[in-house]
Structure 1
Amino acid sequence: MTKTHLGHRARKRFGQNFLHDQFVINDIVDAINPQPSDNLVEIGPGLAALTEPVVERAGKLTVVELDRDLADRLEQHPFLQSKLTVFRGDALKTDFRQFASEQPIRVFGNLPYNISTPLIFHLLEHLEVVEDMHFMLQKEVVERLAAEPNSKAYGRISVAIQQAYAVEPVLMVPPGAFTPPPKVESAVVRLVPHKTSPYPVNDRKALHKICLIAFNQRRKTIRNNLKQIMNDEQLEALGIDPGARPETLSVADYCRLANWYSEQQGDHASY
């Protein structure tokens, strides 16, 4: 690929940083390990840095691209056009179930930093059709996804994602691997949906709500943050110390809180 990236300039509003380091690209494709039998979906293929080597191994691929110029280029690409299904649209508003009519999807992409967290939450709603996901993200986001309790990085994203997925940081990517180089380090993460979650939850919306309230003021105690919802006795009955800080509670603790909360909501619901 030429230095001018085929004449396409990275667009700030799409958060575009194009991957060009061949060694890094090979490592990422090895981590994904695409097979001809796979149902692969790439989000934001950009200038096809990952698209080309993945198609080479898998033979076919669906791509979701918002940028019209890039979608046009992929549809007219001399080598790729016959092997690609180009879906034009915003990944945040895309129903990924439509790509899984015959088999679950394997999703991957070098995600623009401004949409990475909302997109991972959006894909949580499509869990039943996802086999696995490999994303290049800001290193800090990968650290938050994988964080353990009692660490600075641990928060509502860690809880929500670990409830649903096994999280595995796969490799670090330096800024120099991109054009233009971002101001932050990147990392690739593998997310594999739990077939049966070790942390069963009745309602993920309740879990997200509890986490949002609990982590809203990290320095306060869980008693303080959840006082509108429950009292000390109710916390203690769930095995939770009311004086604990939000980041000391485990994923299992938050799931118990969420299940208690959704049961209360059920009791109060009017039929």
Structure 2
Amino acid sequence: MSKKPVGHRARKRFGQNFLHDAGIIRRIIRSIAPREDDHLVEIGPGLGALTEELLAEAGALDAIELDRDLVPVLRTKFFNYGERFRIFETDALKFDFNELKQDGRPLRVVGNLPYNISTPLIFHLLSHAGLIRDMHFMLQKEVVDRLAAEPGTSDYGRLGIMTQYHCRVDPLFIVPPGAFDPAPKVDSAIVRLTPYDSPPYPAKDPVQLELVVRTAFGQRRKTLRNNLRTLLDADELEALGIDPGLRPERLTLAEFVKISDFLSDKQESRHNGAE
């Protein structure tokens, strides 16, 4: 169980809630199942509660920590690991994860992610999905619900669609507020994201797909006809077998990919015609 260093208080601006429940920590470690040859990366190690157990299993770890007051605490705590424990004092949202690739081993990313950065950080990591074997995150339960949401549900939206495009999403278990200090006001949950070697519905242009999904959910309560009118018209949607009167949460990932590929083909035809 991790104890707070004297004088260190959780910082609200960093969204800090320090995990201290030994039983939950062990359960997370069992879910990750770290091995000696793994390249582990922990985002926001905090006081090192998970770090300690991960290092005990794998023997090496890269940590990314923004709070400069915690960096010396972590360096002191894990001094005996020498160069096998590296800290990057930086913002994970701006960090280029390509910097960590030293050999052929994919990254295994772990983190207790603050609510205020969880969505942009997941999108940032998805852009590095080719480097990553898997990700295990502690998130607010509502974020995990959105990641795993199915079409037609209120939680289904841009975050879930794009994550499910790149990764298999496995919600693992719920973590109660009492496992943290200070205790948050809501339940948290552990989720495993496993990037696909090849997406089940590969888009011709993933950037185009991201644009389609973002535009479709620009005004969630409006129909596809309204939200996508800058990209394609109702007749074109109908030609794809998609009802333009539907709201965006009714479409499957495969249907979003179908729209994206249509637009990619349309752009390519225009380009070829202009040559």
- For the superposition of Structure 1 and Structure 2, which TM-score range results when normalised by the shorter chain? over 0.9
Please give the alpha-carbon distance, in whole angstroms, between the structure 2 residues aligned to 1:223 and 1:202.
23
Q: Is the 8 A contact 2:2 2:19 kept in 1?
A: no
Deviation at 1:79, TM superposition (A): 5.5
Residues 80 and 121 of structure 1: CA distance in aligned 2, closer, same or farther (over 3 Å) = farther
Q: Is the 8 A contact 2:42 2:63 kept in 1?
A: yes
TM-score by length of 1: 0.95
Please give the alpha-carbon distance, in whole angstroms, between the structure 2 residues aligned to 1:164 and 1:138.
21
Please give the alpha-carbon distance, in whole angstroms, between the structure 2 residues aligned to 1:133 and 1:109.
8
Q: Which of these residues, 132, 152, 155, is aligned with residue 154 of structure 2?
A: 152
- The number of equivalent residue pairs is 271
Q: Is the 8 A contact 1:52 1:80 kept in 2?
A: no
Please give the alpha-carbon distance, in whole angstroms, between the structure 2 residues aligned to 1:2 and 1:39.
23
Q: Is the 8 A contact 1:74 1:81 kept in 2?
A: no
Q: Deviations over 1:219-262 (max 9, x none)?
A: 22211211222122211222211122211100111111122223
Gaps of 5+ in 1: none
Deviation at 1:263, TM superposition (A): 3.0
Deviation at 1:265, TM superposition (A): 3.4
Deviation at 1:145, TM superposition (A): 0.4
Equivalent position amino acid for 1:77 in 2: K
Counterpart secondary structure, 2:135: strand
Q: Is the 8 A contact 1:44 1:110 kept in 2?
A: yes
Report the equivalent of 2:20. 20
Report the equivalent of 1:221. 223
Equivalent position amino acid for 1:85 in 2: R
Residues 3 and 97 of structure 1: CA distance in aligned 2, closer, same or farther (over 3 Å) = closer
Equivalent position amino acid for 2:209 in 1: L
Report the equivalent of 1:116. 118
- Superposed CA RMSD in Å reads 1.7
Query: Which piece of structure 1 moves more, 45-54 or 2-11?
Result: 2-11
Q: Deviations over 1:39-85 (max 9, x none)?
A: 10000000001000111111111101111111111112256542411
Counterpart secondary structure, 1:93: coil
Residues 228 and 46 of structure 1: CA distance in aligned 2, closer, same or farther (over 3 Å) = same
**Counterpart mapping for 1:225-264 below 5 A:** 225-264=227-266
Counterpart secondary structure, 2:246: coil
Report the equivalent of 1:104. 106
Counterpart secondary structure, 2:169: strand
Counterpart secondary structure, 2:190: strand
Q: Is the 8 A contact 2:149 2:155 kept in 1?
A: yes
Please give the alpha-carbon distance, in whole angstroms, between the structure 2 residues aligned to 1:80 and 1:178.
27
Equivalent position amino acid for 1:210 in 2: V
Residues 2 and 252 of structure 1: CA distance in aligned 2, closer, same or farther (over 3 Å) = closer
Report the equivalent of 2:210. 208
TM-score by length of 2: 0.93
Please give the alpha-carbon distance, in whole angstroms, between the structure 1 residues aligned to 2:78 and 2:102.
28
**Counterpart mapping for 1:16-95 below 5 A:** 16-77=16-77, 81-82=81-82, 83-95=84-96
Please give the alpha-carbon distance, in whole angstroms, between the structure 2 residues aligned to 1:42 and 1:138.
18
> Matched residues, percent identical?
53
1:166 aligns with 2:168: yes
Q: Is the 8 A contact 1:75 1:81 kept in 2?
A: no
Query: Which piece of structure 1 moves more, 176-185 or 82-91?
Result: 82-91
Report the equivalent of 1:10. 10
Residues 230 and 59 of structure 1: CA distance in aligned 2, closer, same or farther (over 3 Å) = same
Gaps of 5+ in 2: none
Counterpart secondary structure, 2:77: coil
